[in-house]
């Protein structure tokens, strides 16, 4: 059987303004999809609209959304224009990490932001979108995982815990959807050079750059390629779980850092 065509299908990406989210938008644009893009920084979405249309997107619809706000999620998705409601692919990409403190010295506000975005935000969006997929008899949910979901690292206990939750919620959703045509995938990313570390260290550029020193990290496009691949498999194929790392990474603790 041939690949699953996303031409003219609605692909909804959260956190689409930068990094992996923006790379996914470009990847799905090349498939001829109709792009439904959400982010807190909607001006960044508008800045890449022409690029996405030039790359092949059938249409682009941007809107501002903070996935932490359950009422905002329900209102935004429930209020979509009719031509954008039949979401075929949902990419739950919005996520972040804050701080690298020892757990017993951690900042509760950092914990709340990570849990509210990475776990609860994913749940709010999933709850708003998946019923329509079941009703229409087609759809694919992609959740952004991490090597952190498989092995914790010092200072990252809460972040790693949120990503472990993503994997188990992903698996539970797939079990709950058994018997429907809706697919569910967890695509786990290793070290990717994005704004992730800058966000973690609240704008400390120097500290963020050290994360990637003497190593070849993945690019956002590498993860986007994996996501597009998973969603374009034949309709009977479900990529349940995938971990993608640079060749210089074995897991969330082990890296090959060259001397120069």
CA distance 62 to 34: 11
Cβ neighbours of residue 91 closer than 8 Å, sequence gap 6 or more: 11, 12, 13, 14, 21, 24, 142, 144, 227
Could you tell me where the beta strands, DSSP code E, fall in 53-148?
A: 59-64, 87-92, 140-146
Catalytic residue at 153? no
Copy the structure tokens of residue 215: 């190593």
CA distance 49 to 106: 39
- Cα–Cα distances (Å) from 117 to 77, 128, 161, 243, in that order, read 17, 15, 13, 21
Copy the structure tokens of residue 40: 């807190």
Catalytic annotation, residues: 159
């Amino acid at each position: 059987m041939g690949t699953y065509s996303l031409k003219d299908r609605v692909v909804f990406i959260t956190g689409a303004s930068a990094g992996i989210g923006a790379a996914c938008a470009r990847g799905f644009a090349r498939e001829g999809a109709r792009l439904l893009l959400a982010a807190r920084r909607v001006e960044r979405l508008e800045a890449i609209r022409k690029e996405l249309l030039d790359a092949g997107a059938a249409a682009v619809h941007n809107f501002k959304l903070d996935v932490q706000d359950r009422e905002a999620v329900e209102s935004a998705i429930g209020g979509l224009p009719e031509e954008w409601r039949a979401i075929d692919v949902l990419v739950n990409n919005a996520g972040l990490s804050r701080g690298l403190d020892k757990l017993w010295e951690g900042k509760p506000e950092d914990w709340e932001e990570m849990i509210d975005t990475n776990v609860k935000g994913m749940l709010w969006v999933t709850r708003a979108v998946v019923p329509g997929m079941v009703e229409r008899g087609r759809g694919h949910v992609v959740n952004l995982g991490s090597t952190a979901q498989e092995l914790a690292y010092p200072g990252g206990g809460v972040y790693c815990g949120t990503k472990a939750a993503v994997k188990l919620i992903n698996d539970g959703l797939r079990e709950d959807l058994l018997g429907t045509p809706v697919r569910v995938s967890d695509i786990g990313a290793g070290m990717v050079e994005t704004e992730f570390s800058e966000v973690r260290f609240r704008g400390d550029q120097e500290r963020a750059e050290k994360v990637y020193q003497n190593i070849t990290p993945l690019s956002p496009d590498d993860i986007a390629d994996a996501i597009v691949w998973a969603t374009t498999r034949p309709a009977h194929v479900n990529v349940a779980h995938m971990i993608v790392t640079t060749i210089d990474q074995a897991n969330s603790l082990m890296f090959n850092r060259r001397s120069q």
